[in-house]
Structure 1
Amino acid sequence: MVLEHLIVPATAKQTASLIFVHGLGDSGYGWKPVAELLSKSLPHVKFILPHAPSQPVTVNGGMSMPSWFDLTSLTLEGTDDEDGLLKSASEINKLVTAEVDSGIPSHRVLVGGFSQGSCLAFLVGLSSERKLAGTVALSGWLPLRHKIKSMLGPHHQHLPIFQAHGSDDPVVATKYADFTSSYIKSLGFKDVPVSQPQNGGISFTKYDGIGHGACQEELQDLAEWLVKVLGYTWKKPDRQTDILTHPRNNIAITNDGYSTYFSNLCAAYPLKLLTPALRTGPVGVGICYTLQYGGGLVSGDICDLSVDIHHRSTLILLTQGSTKVFKSSGKTSQQKLMVNVHPHATIVSLPDPIQPFAHSRYKQKQDFFLDGTSSAVILDSLNSGRSACGEYWDFDRYTSINSIYVDGHLIVKDSVHLIQPDIQTRLHPFHAYAMLFLIGEKTKSIREDFHTQQSSLNSVLNGRFHVGSRPIWSLTNISPQASVVRLAGKDDESIKHFLGERCTQLEDTIGNEAFVRCFR
């Protein structure tokens, strides 16, 4: 038996395989979006993303979580869990064997990992009896230093190694990455640039301002390195147009069992991120506001954000006011959001509405990847524009696509496409529309409350309604664990007030202070 794993298949004829091992508290799904992005530059590569078993972890207070081996501390002075390391390395080697048995030569199989996963990547790569294509180690360290020399395989000095680390990593200190690089060079490895790894050696890069996570520049360098190691026969993309279309903006929130912190925050124009501290509330909850320079998006702006919510963390994602979409000069303003919600984690995304100005064009795409044990409260809304200026659904074009996956399966794909000239006719007489997605165990009581109130819609279903102070709404149950509520109201505030009344049970999850911020 081999480890349970996720596969991102090659999109061309497969000639190589990359086994990538996730970090503590994560799963293979956490790295699926990155594998899919890398696949654009490496269509001949199959990506294998194994899932760690759940086991007690000392640094997590002895509580069980997905882990490859026990951790007594996050320092090099901590005692290595040798048995756990060797057992997990053996499991990764079984995945290598499975690829070789399928017809892929071992020198076309590469092993990589992030944080705890990079420990296994180092261990498997350096000790392998077979010649491997290379090793990738992101934000990690070299384990078993007391005996690694005796474990070295016959091909180790010809092994290409890509090592990367954030300069501001609060979890695995940068000095441990420096020590790891120096130690590996003491084993006979040479320093080589990212662009020249073919004959072996270590390519070590630190990325300024990056915490315990990966940034766009790092993934671009990794893509370039992989192309050199695994080869390809098509035209290489221009670096200035990005080898990867990976977002420059990233949020990662981590709960270590004692405190909650943003392990990565990275934003570039036109996006800003603000993370005010919550004075009260349960451990594990963090809040982040997104906003744009100038309060909105100008013609052609693209705002691309990725979010990682780690094991047992809760992220509240809000905006500071409506996102204004200014008049377009033929170009569409765009927002893209990709959210990975790890096991037992929660996303509460309650942004203020999109406000498209007259003659503007706007498109957004939001993808949410949930574990079966995670939960989500996701609001998507828009209004009719600047009513004070006499605007009433006067934008040229509006598109919103929400895709929600649970355990890798698409459970919701909701698309809204509004194009002139008939937008006013279709949306009259309301000034605000919204969709609320409720998924997972932590939304159960909210979904049940909406269900019990469903009978109040009879007058709407019979066509007898007017634009009053309270919104009209409908409920659709997607599955036993997921529902969507669709709302229409006279203005944004009526919808927000209504949702605040209906979602009071959310306060148990996020605390009173955060709840007030969401619905005030």
Structure 2
Amino acid sequence: MISPFPKSTSLAGEGRIVVKLAPNDISSLESITYQYPLKLISPTPTAEQRSVLIFLLSYGGGLVAGDQVNLAIDIRPKAKLSIVTQGHTKIFRSITPDVVTRQNLKVHIQDGAALCLLPDPVQPFESSIYEQTQIFKLTADASLCLLDWVTQGRTALGENWSFGRWIGRNEVWFTTEDENTKDRLLVRDTVKLDSANRSIGSPSLRESMYEHAIVGSLILRGPMTKSLGEFFLAEFAALPRIGARDFRSAEAREKDDAVPKSRLEQWRSTRLGEERNKQIIWSAANVRGCIVVKLGAATVEAARNWIGSMLLQEGSIEQHFGEQALMCVR
């Protein structure tokens, strides 16, 4: 029997999202398509929404060995898109090292447009092999907030950086609509965690993680994340330095401690205590106009609470994208 329906032009694991600005100045979906094992869900928009919200999912809650996902996103001028998940992206084990699970993301963000990608962490299972490439091309007035993080695995089953290989690469490019102008690479952030191919005498992958349960990168670029980037740089500059000494007299210290602290100073003091107690380490740097924050923590929840606290304290992500954009870091 001949099917009356035309053949699908998309391949397994392929998806595409196009977001535009509607005439009422509300961001809306122009189109959204996906094929198994990729799944995309967008709740019904409301008049109060500050950005289009899309859940990036996979059938069964994870990617089976050998799955290939390719997602393309186009955000038209002045539109805004938030992407979240409904839990850890699980990477199931590979039977042999040559069976690789892959995810590829290509994003084009046009002038005045913005993307906020704050997902739950990736959770590679024991013996899994995973590679991820995310490429973002931004015009001069485009904005990006990207969080990419990975955990040690399923601690309840005793997993502790016991996967085979995890490779994550993020690239941020400056682009223009001029076909005669070449795109310019701003940031290439690559993390390679390999438990098998290690130099003789070098520590194991587990030992090299220094008891951290999670590591990650936050990358910020553009006018909508400018104040957030400045906030991270200022807070990093205010961190106590190793070997720093307080040369004030005891009397001067007591006098300064008696002065009422601002809300920001109170919040910072509490945060610094949590960073010490929960073994949270982080850094921030300006790289060709992009703010790159690297972080690690002894527990997944400590990292989630820390990044959520930073974003909520500064406030611009919620202001531009809405509180739903932050649901994975609360």
Distance 1:344 1:326 in 2: 39
CA contact (8 A) 1:345 1:373 kept: yes
Which of 412, 423, 426 does residue 208 from structure 2 map onto?
426
Calculate percent identity across the aligned residue pairs.
30
- Aligned mates of 1:365, 1:327 — CA distance in 2: 19
Instruction: Specify the alignment match of 2:27 in structure 1.
Output: 260
CA 1:452–1:399: 2 relative to 1, 3 Å: same
Matched residue type, 1:289: F
Once the two structures are superposed, residues 298-357 of structure 1 have per-residue CA deviations (whole angstroms, 9 ceiling, x without a partner) of 111111111111111110011111111111012011100001101110010111111011
CA spacing shift, 1:360–1:441, aligned 2, 3 Å:
same
The question of 1:500 aligning with 2:290 is answered no
CA distance in 2, matches of 1:397, 1:287: 31
Q: Which residue of 2 aligns with 1:97?
A: none
RMSD: 2.5
Count of residue pairs brought into register by the alignment: 277
Partner of 1:327, secondary structure, is coil
Distance 1:501 1:428 in 2: 24
Offset of residue 458 of structure 1? 3.9
Q: Contact conserved, 1:343 with 1:372, CA < 8 A, in 2?
A: yes
3-state SS of 1:217 partner: coil
Deviation at 1:494, TM superposition (A): 1.9
- Structure 1 stretches of 4+ moved >6 Å: none
Residue 467 (structure 1) shift = 6.6
> In structure 2, what is the equivalent of residue 509 of structure 1?
320
Return closer, same or farther for 1:247/1:387 CA change in 2, 3 Å cut-off. closer
Residue of 314, 317, 328 corresponding to 2:80: 314
Q: Deviations over 1:105-159 (max 9, x none)?
A: xxxxxxxxxxxxxxxxxxxxxxxxxxxxxxxxxxxxxxxxxxxxxxxxxxxxxxx
For 1:401 and 1:266, the matched residues in 2 are separated by 24
Return 271-280 or 299-308, whichever deviates more: 271-280
The amino acid across from 2:150 in the alignment is L
Higher relative contact order (CA 8 A, sep 6+): 2
Superposed CA offset, 1:349-401 (max 9, x none)? 11111101111110001000101100000011000000001110000111111
User: How far did residue 423 of structure 1 move?
Assistant: 1.1
User: Using the alignment, how far apart are the partners of 2:168 and 2:276 within structure 1?
Assistant: 24
What is aligned with 2:184?
409
Which among 359, 362, 372 is matched to residue 140 of structure 2? 372
Q: 2:9 is matched with which residue?
A: 217
Q: Which aligned pairs between 1:111-150 and structure 2 lie closer than 5 A? A: none
SS at match of 1:507: helix
**Match 2:299 to one of 484, 491, 495:** 491
8 Å Cα contact 1:247/1:304 also seen in 2: yes
Q: Distance in 2 between matches of 1:506 and 1:290?
A: 19
Q: Match of 2:327, as an amino acid?
A: R
Partner residue of 1:287 out of 53, 75, 86 = 53
Assess if the C-alpha contact under 8 Å between 1:430 and 1:467 holds in 2.
no
Q: 1:457, 1:473 within 8 Å by CA — same for their partners in 2?
A: no
Do structure 1's residue 453 and structure 2's residue 235 form an aligned pair?
A: yes
Which residue does the alignment assign to 1:519?
A: 329
Pair 279,496 (structure 1): closer, same or farther in 2 beyond 3 Å: farther
Alignment of 1:3-82 (within 5 A): none
- In the TM superposition, what are the counterparts of 1:90-109 in structure 2 within 5 Å? none
| Greater per-residue helix proportion | 1
The one-letter amino acid paired with 1:497 is: N
List per-residue Cα deviations over 1:269-317 (Å, max 9, x = no partner).
Answer: 111111013546455x101001111111111111111111111111001
Q: Which residue of 1 aligns with 2:269?
A: none
Q: Paired residue for 1:274?
A: 41
Distance 1:332 1:247, change over 3 A: closer
Q: Mean alpha-carbon deviation: is it higher for 246-255 or for 419-428?
A: 246-255
Indicate the structure with greater strand content.
2
Whether the 8 Å CA contact 1:350–1:379 is kept in 2: the answer is yes
The residue that corresponds to 1:389 in the other structure is: 157
The structure with the largest alpha-carbon Rg is 1
1:342 pairs with 107, 110, 113, which one? 110
Q: CA deviation at 1:471?
A: 2.3
* TM-score (normalised: structure 2): 0.78
Consecutive unaligned residues of structure 2, counting only runs of 5 or more, are 176-182, 197-203, 245-272
Contact preservation (8 Å) 2:152, 2:159? yes
- Checking the alignment, whether the CA contact within 8 Å between 2:62 and 2:91 is kept in structure 1 is yes
- Which residue in the other structure is 2:253 paired with? none
Question: Residue 453 of structure 1: SS of its match in structure 2?
Answer: helix
Answer with 488-497 or 264-273: which moved more: 488-497
Q: Match of 1:321, as an amino acid?
A: G
Separation in structure 1 between the aligned mates of residue 76 and residue 49 of structure 2, nearest angstrom? 16
Amino acid at match of 1:263: E
- What are the ranges of 5 or more consecutive residues in structure 1 without an aligned counterpart? 1-206, 210-215, 219-241
Structure 2 match to 1:92: none
- Report the TM-score when normalising by structure 1: 0.50
